[in-house]
Chains A and B, each alone.
Chain A
Amino acid sequence: MTAPRVGVATALGRLMARDLRIALRRSGDSLQPLGFFLVVTTLFPLALDPALSLLRDIAPAALWVGALLSSLLALDLLFRDDGQDGTLEQLALCGQPFPLLLLAKTGVHWLLTGLPLVLVAPLAAIGLGAPYAAMPGILSALLLGTVALSLIGAVGAGLTMSLKRNGSLLALLVLPLAVPVLIFGARATALAIAGEALGAPLYLLAAMAVLALTLTPWALAAAVRIGLE
């Protein structure tokens, strides 16, 4: 391993710019999970009796199950191409801190799949009968929740990276670990829709996002290194 020629910040910046450029050239790929989220949240009113009071009751569940499944679907994009063409191996060998590089990659992944989901969530929420006053609460809960979901999911994606068919196994690995985010996210959203104080679940979501930001990069690096062997 040779000494890196550029500083960590430069390397992270270049990696993120590269990932963003590639993703924007193939923007269809990162829009698919978004379309999936909108379709799933639309299915709930169709499957249920579309009475406004009922929809408002199930809105938190619909939003968060939709967000969880859509983030799971998006994980396929995270390491697939870079694992196949050897980019990840180069990153592992380049001498920069590997956990930080993977954190940057996951950050870009969140920018491309998590953030757009947060931005279209008000649309889905209004469709489910949530009042306008609830939007700041719903948005901040989803903002924190999607960060944690992307990071937890990334570990699962790293572990199953080298497998041929990994769809259902990835779901089995990631979904139990994502349960706390689901519980407090849906709780915060329900409180926001009811117009009550939602500080407590929001702080817990923030704590989980911070915990995921600080701990998962190391697990992620270990998982990806094993997948690269």
Chain B
Amino acid sequence: MAWVWFHRFGSPPHFYRLATRLAPWFAWPALVLCLAGLIGGLGFAPADYQQGDGFRIIYVHAPSAWLSLMVYVVMAASAAVGLIWRMNVAHALAASCATIGASFTAVALLTGMLWGRPMWGTYWEWDPRLTSELLLLFLYLGYMGLRNSIDDLGRADRASAVLAIVGVVNVPVIHYSVIWWNSLHQAPSVMRFGEPTMPASMLLPLLAMLAGFTCYFVALLLTRARAEVLRRERSAQWVATVLDVPARSV
């Protein structure tokens, strides 16, 4: 009986209603947290003693970089759930993750380049973290390419799920191989043990931005997954009822 919630989650109409109800609970906190983080980060945080005002791009860069990895894990996890329990909704979630993840990765790369230009004197450096982020973008693009090139939806779901799982095994290997290769990027300053290396007036806006971006991702994912579920189930009766239109005869 304990697994009833899990199987209910796998039912498209139930998921659709759940996602519709949950999305605003993430969208509004995302807006509030991001606004607070931006005001705090751009207005009240002191300028960095070394990097001046230039460091403020961290309030976009660090959350995007964090999400670029987290979205991949979410994508691979839902792909695995879809593959193992043959759950259509999980495949829809994974499919919705790919574009979001690729966009966050691109934003992290672009803001990183804009940050690198004044601080390191170059837009691009073959540095481990930059390189593994670029490879992550290629993994997302490969996943999207594979999904788009298979016409049959069920097969596209399962083939791209295998790719996502192979990728998630390989991501740590790629990450560490690139790290041991050489390094210029500053060490992580938030996700570390011991005392934070930032004063609270800098750190609090950053944490607000991290939480805000994460909420934004969840809201976006739920909205995209709703659209994806509707697209997949377009000939089902419940879609016609939910959307209050006559049922399509396909």
**Residues in chain A within 8 A of chain B (CB atoms):** 155, 159-160, 162-163, 166, 169, 172-173, 175-177, 179-180, 183-184, 187, 204, 208, 211, 215-216, 219, 222-223, 226-227, 229
Contacts and interface: CB of A to CB of B under 8 A. Distances in A.
Interface string B117-140: 000000000000000000100110
Contact of B159 (A159, A183, A215): A159
Q: In terms of DSSP, what is the predominant structure of the interface of chain A?
A: helix
Interface residues of B, number: 26
30 contacts: A159-B146, A159-B162, A160-B146, A160-B149, A162-B150, A169-B145, A169-B146, A169-B149, A172-B145, A173-B145, A175-B138, A176-B135, A176-B174, A177-B139, A177-B166, A177-B170, A179-B174, A179-B178, A180-B170, A183-B178, A187-B181, A211-B173, A219-B162, A219-B166, A222-B162, A226-B155, A226-B159, A226-B162, A227-B155, A229-B154
Most buried by A among B135, B145, B162, B173: B162
Nearest to B141: A172
Most-contacted residue by chain A among B139, B158, B159, B181 (CB, 10 A) = B159
Nearest to A219: B166
Contacts of A163: 149-150
A172 B138 contact: yes
Contacts of B169: 215
Interface in B220-246: none
Contacts of B177: 179-180, 183-184, 204
Q: Interface of chain B, helix or strand or loop or mixed?
A: helix
A180 B165 CA distance: 17
Nearest to A201: B180
Given A173-B142, A179-B174, A183-B178, A229 B155 contact: yes
Residue among B166, B167, B177 with the highest chain A CB neighbour number at 10 A: B166
A172 B149 CA distance: 13
B163 interface: yes
Interface of B: 83, 135, 138-139, 141-142, 145-146, 149-150, 154-155, 158-159, 162-163, 165-167, 169-170, 173-174, 177-178, 181
B138 A176 contact: yes
A162 B162 contact: no
Given A155-B166, A222-B162, A226-B159, 11 more contacts: A162-B155, A169-B142, A169-B146, A172-B142, A176-B135, A176-B138, A177-B170, A216-B166, A222-B158, A226-B155, A227-B155
A166 B145 CA distance: 10
A176 B141 CA distance: 10
Given A176-B135, A179-B135, A159 B163 contact: yes
Contact of A223 (B141, B162, B170): B162
A229 B139 CA distance: 25
Nearest to A177: B170
A207 B181 CA distance: 17
A175 B139 CA distance: 9
A222 B142 CA distance: 18
A223 B159 contact: yes
Contacts of B146: 159-160, 169, 173
Contacts of A179: 135, 174, 177-178
Contacts of B170: 177, 180
Contacts of A180: 170, 173-174, 177
B179 to A, nearest CB: 10
Given A176-B138, A183-B178, A208 B166 contact: no
A223 B150 CA distance: 13
A177 B149 contact: no
B79 to A, nearest CB: 12
B7 to A, nearest CB: 23
A179 B133 CA distance: 13
Nearest to B143: A173
A158 to B, nearest CB: 8
Contact of A176 (B139, B158, B165, B181): B139
A40 B178 CA distance: 25
Contacts of B166: 155, 177, 216, 219
